[in-house]
Amino acid sequence: MSSHALEKFPRVRLAQLPTPFTQITAPELGLKLYLKRDDLTGNGLSGNKARKLEFLIADARAQNCATLVTCGAVQSNCARALAVAAAQTHLESYLILTGAVPAEDDGNLLISRLAGAEIEFLTSTDPAERDALLARRTADLAASGRRPYVVPFGGSSEVGALGYVQAAFEMATQLGPDAARFRHIVTPMASGGTYAGLYLGFALAGLPIRPIGAFVCGSATEWVPTLLDLIHGLARLLGVVVAADESDIRLIDARGAGYDQPTPAELDFIARFVRATGVLLDPVYSGKALYALWRYLECGALDDPADVIFLHTGGSFGIFPHRRGLSAALAGLEPHAADVGAAGCLPDAPVAAQAERPATVALHAATAKAASAVHRASRRATPHRSPELRPAQTISIASP
Ligand SMILES: Cc1ncc(COP(=O)(O)O)c(C=O)c1O
């Protein structure tokens, strides 16, 4: 099936596409990687949400809606992108932002305000309370004639995920015959729409590339059914059948100390990476995910690092609220980088508890083993490549 599968869905053009596909090298980190630069989908409207919003806003217009409503954390990239996209398309935006009310506007929040979003804070981070408030506000907006359209958390409805089906087709065209040499694309993950879209998109494009979700929140046991629901729902929307089951889901635990809580090791990695490559990473999504992937690659847990792509999903405005931590990391950098491997590989937070890991999540399980292997190896200062750390399963998907 080709990209014609998407033609029946309305889409507004918002993102600067195609985004670049590049290779970066950071010798002091021992990192050589292919990057799909979705951080460059736009300026204010940057990152992975731009692709989702192309389909979501078109859907809102098709339903004659006038106000985009969503919820997210105070520094939500999705909420900011939605506010900017609403301004671009002459819609209104209403954001429910959860967490401690900040003393001043910063990062994504400041940009949402500049774009004219109406913002309501909810100090509770309980998803049930958030969803209840979202339902109430949507009803209020409807009652006052503002014709609301709800964009779910992270833009990850089936309609939003179409944006990453399109992205997979875009990469197939961009890479041409070279596409066949890649096996994995690692994406930062928080609501799953990017993963689901890529999964189906590459399958429909007939390519062997499979996503690996570097999750920054939730747990592996929660992610497996969430992703499968999204993948199957998306397949239904597209009118195709996909035989994906839990053995097809690939995960890496990128949570570290928790959502929006970068560890010193992650911040140190970000500082070194930006210095070495000029590519910005944020401390909430792309920085955590790439740090987790880096540790994973260090362990030799993937057969061939050269067949891995990292999807840079943006989030750069999230740098600013973490200015203190990043400044501290910068202060700790040696002018001539010391032995990064030894410092950066030490597990900075316990990996997920064994009980939380389904047996089928091979990469996730391997990561845990690999992390402790690296920990041991880095103390011994001996090479730590270990064949038994490789994922036990090959990635498979039935053709739709
Ligand atoms: C910068 C960035 N990267 C990655 C993600 C995760 O993508 P998804 O929500 O589709 O899992 C998000 C948002 O959740 C994000 O803001």
- Confidence class of residue 306 from pLDDT cuts 50, 70 and 90? confident
* Residue 48 Cα to ligand 1 middle (Å): 7
Which tens digit of pLDDT belongs to each residue from 309-364? 999 999 999 999 999 999 999 999 876 444 343 333 323 332 332 223 332 234 44
* Residue 1: pLDDT band with limits 50, 70, 90: low
Domain ranges of the chain: 3-43+157-389, 49-155
Find the mean pLDDT for residues 65-73.
97
Q: Read off the pLDDT of residues 362-376 as tens digits, 9 standing for 90 and up.
A: 444 444 444 433 333
Q: How far apart are the C-alpha atoms of 361 and 343, rounded to whole Å? A: 27
**Has residue 392 got a pLDDT over 70?**
no
DSSP 23: E
Greater confidence (363 vs 213) lies with: 213
Same fold, 3-43+157-389 and 49-155: yes
Atom of ligand 1 nearest to the CA of 282: 1
> What is the distance between the alpha carbons of residues 47 and 330, in angstroms, rounded to a whole number?
25
Residue 163 has pLDDT above 60, yes or no: yes
pLDDT of 60 reads 98
Distance from Cα 195 to the centre of ligand 1, integer Å? 10
The residue type found at 390 is R
Q: Cα of 285 to ligand 1 centre, how many Å?
A: 7
Atom 16, ligand 1: residue with shortest CA distance: 77
Pocket of ligand 1 (CB under 6 A): 47-48, 77-78, 154, 156, 188-195, 285, 313-315
Residue pair 77/47 in contact (Cβ under 8 Å)? The answer is: yes
- pLDDT at 228 exceeding the cut of 50: yes
Angle at 183 between CA 180 and CA 189, to 5 degrees: 130
Q: What are the residues facing 32 on neighbouring strands?
A: 25
φ, ψ at 81 (rounded to 5°): -65, -40
Average pLDDT for 122-150: 97
H-run or E-run covering 185: strand 184-189
Which positions are annotated as active-site residues? 76
- How far, in Å, CA of 240 to CA of 236, rounded? 6
CATH class of 3-43+157-389: alpha beta
Shortest-distance atom of ligand 1 to CA 313: 3
Q: Is the pLDDT of residue 378 over 90?
A: no
- Is the pLDDT at 260 greater than 70? The verdict is yes
87 CA to centre of ligand 1 in angstroms? 21
The confidence score (pLDDT) of residue 379 equals 32
- pLDDT score for 82: 98
Percent of the chain residues topping a pLDDT of 70: 83
State the distance from the centre of ligand 1 to the C-alpha of 228, rounded, in angstroms.
Answer: 17
Q: What's the rounded Cα separation, in Å, for the pair 8 and 55?
A: 11
Q: pLDDT higher for 299 or 122?
A: 122
Q: Are 73 and 99 in contact (CB under 8 A)?
A: yes
Q: Provide the token pair at 80.
A: 């900011």
With bands split at pLDDT 50, 70 and 90, how would you rate the model's confidence at 3? confident
pLDDT band (50, 70, 90) for residue 300: confident
Using CA atoms, how far apart are residues 25 and 279, in angstroms rounded to an integer?
11
**Beta strands, E only, 2-153:** 21-26, 31-37, 67-73, 92-98, 118-122, 148-151
Token pair listed for 67: 């106000």
* Percent of the chain's residues with pLDDT above 90: 79
Instruction: Name the pTM for this structure.
Output: 0.86
Start-end of H helices in 205-314? 220-238, 264-277, 286-298
Is pLDDT of 85 > 80? yes
Supply the pLDDT for residue 4: 82
**Best of 189, 212, 223, 252 for a ligand 1 pocket test (most atoms within 8 Å of beta carbon):** 189
Q: Which CATH architecture has domain 49-155?
A: 3-Layer(aba) Sandwich (3.40)
Mode of pairing for the β-strands spanning 67-73 and 31-37: unpaired
Cα–Cα distance, 137 to 133 (Å, whole number): 6
Q: Which range (73-87, 222-236, 272-286, 374-388) has the least confidence?
A: 374-388
The pLDDT of 153-170, averaged and rounded, is: 97
Element (H, E) at 309: strand 308-312
- Classify 119 as helix, strand or coil: strand
Q: Name the residue of 38, 46, 48, 186 whose CB sits within 8 Å of the most ligand 1 atoms, as the mutation to test its pocket.
A: 48
